[in-house]
Chain A
Amino acid sequence: MASTEKESRFLTIVNDNRQLLYKVCYMYATDRDHFQDLYQEVLANIWEGLGAFRGDSALSTWLYRTALNTCVTFYRKHNRHSSEMTSLELADGLMADDGVRNEQLHEMYRLISKLSKIDKAIILMWLDERSYDEIAEVTGFTRNNVATRLRRIKQRLVDSGNRDE
């Protein structure tokens, strides 16, 4: 792939899927510096893998795979434990149309931040209305395993949310 053609394709993919990449990085970042590190790492891996992408899978599936793999394997030198306090700082960057839903999003973000990295990947794709098959393809679990884990994750989120009310 020629350099300029690759650059053009890279910019198009990143700009068209910015929301997807931002949401993945937000889900795993614990503060703004961490977000920037993750986002940079994700973009670098997309750039490196772009030449090998032949369209065997959907572009969104490929981007999820690259972004999630980057985030779950990323390790910072001074790793702060993911907690509700750090996630709220980033949640301020998220916007909904009204204050009530904004509050609910913050709460959901706080609860999701407590999940393991694998569970975050599953719930994130479910929230983005990806099919069970696509989630299984990206995560490497079977479809039934994804369904079971998703059921547990949702129950845990509901229980945590009700407990805090």
Chain B
Amino acid sequence: MDINELKNNWNSMSIPPDYHAGVTDDILSRVERGRVTTLRDRLGNISRMLSQICCVGVLLMIPYLHESPTLGILAIAFFIFMGVMHFRAYRRVSRLAFSEMTVREAILTVANIDRDRIRLRAIGMALGLPLAIYMCFTFSEVFGDYYLYGCVAGAVVGLGIGLLINRRAVNIIREMRAQLNPEQ
């Protein structure tokens, strides 16, 4: 196979002018109306939503400051920390500018963003699980043992779902990092 000949052929290749014309016009229309959500938007929306949930968590825990000050303070501190971290992630993603980066920078940046999201989830679980268990025991003293059983069951299910979701994120990072391996 003569690769230089193929290069010449490549330049003579054309996509038929009417190929996907209808699709293109539709896409252009939606892009101009702001109806297209990019990868950056999706990543940013996740982080922003999580920071908003943390704000709600802070508000929900305020009433419990009277009944259980220790639990209230720990929970509010946890939600404030996680909320700030998620908001920082949102800011970082919203500053992604694919048109101003090299290909190498783009792959590294997106991989690092996803890596930091996974780390944040790990930190969240490491801090949140003990807090959740403490919360369950505290509430069970007030509402009874069945509250505790329900919380434990919910925590186990939630943990399993979270680990499954994380595995997908890890695969994304592995694939992106693999692109930078010069031996591939």
Contact A96 B12 (CB under 8 A): yes
Chain A 136-165, CB within 8 Å of chain B: the 1/0 string? Answer: 011111000000010000100110011001
Write the nearest CB–CB distance from B33 to chain A, whole angstroms: 10
CA distance A49 to B7 in the complex (A): 31
Q: Is residue A70 contacting chain B, with contact meaning CB distance below 8 A?
A: yes
Q: Which residue of A lies closest to B32 (CB)?
A: A7
Q: Is the CB of A140 within 8 A of B15?
A: no
Whether a CB of chain B sits under 8 angstroms from the CB of A85 is no
| B179 close to chain A: CB less than 8 A | yes
Once bound together, how far apart are the Cα atoms of A58 and B166, in whole Å? 40
Q: Out of A14, A104, A128, name the residue touching B6 (CB < 8 Å).
A: A104
Q: A39-B24, A45-B98, A73-B110 are in contact. Are A116 and B179 (CB under 8 A)?
A: yes
Shortest C-beta distance, B97 to chain A (Å), equals 6
| Interface size in chain B (residues, C-beta < 8 A) | 48
Cβ-neighbour of A137 out of B1, B13, B102, B178 (below 8 A): B102
Among all A-B residue pairs, the 9 with the closest Cβ atoms? A140-B102, A49-B99, A140-B104, A161-B1, A69-B98, A69-B106, A66-B99, A44-B36, A116-B184
In this assembly, does B148 line the interface, its C-beta being within 8 Å of a C-beta of chain A?
Answer: no
B32 CB contact (under 8 Å) in A10, A53, A70, A118: A10
Shortest CB-to-CB span from B84 to chain A, Å, is: 26
Q: Is the CB of A72 within 8 A of B107?
A: yes
**28 pairs from A and B in contact (CB 8 Å cutoff):** A10-B28, A10-B31, A18-B15, A36-B27, A39-B27, A41-B36, A43-B31, A44-B31, A45-B38, A45-B98, A47-B31, A48-B99, A49-B100, A66-B98, A68-B103, A69-B99, A72-B103, A72-B106, A75-B176, A93-B16, A101-B12, A105-B13, A116-B184, A129-B7, A140-B103, A141-B104, A149-B182, A154-B3
B157 interface residue (CB < 8 Å to A):
no
CB-nearest residue of chain A to B111: A73
Chain A residues 58 to 111 lying within 8 A of chain B, measured CB to CB, are: 62, 65-66, 68-70, 72-75, 93-97, 101, 104-105, 107-108
Answer yes or no: B125 CB below 8 A from chain A CBs. no
What's the nearest-Cβ distance from chain A to residue B44, in Å? Answer: 12
Taking a contact as CB atoms closer than 8 A, the residue among A72, A93, A117, A128 that contacts B10 in the complex is A128
B123 within 8 A of partner (CB):
no
Tell me, in angstroms, the Cα distance from A124 to B150 when the chains sit together: 57
Chain B 13-38, CB-CB to A under 8 Å as 1, else 0, gives: 11110011001100110111000111
Contacting residues of chain B (88-102) with chain A, CB-CB under 8 angstroms: 97-102
B180 within 8 A of A: yes
Contact A65 B31 (CB under 8 A): no
Partner of A65, one of B38, B40, B99: B99
Residue A119 CB within 8 A of the other chain: yes
Cβ-defined contact, B9 with A105, below 8 A? yes
User: Measured between alpha carbons, how far is A165 from B2 in the docked complex, in Å?
Assistant: 13
Task: Report the nearest A residue to B27, measured CB to CB.
Answer: A40
B39 within 8 A of A: yes
* Residue pair B99, A62 in contact (C-beta under 8 Å): yes
Cβ of B70 under 8 Å from chain A: no
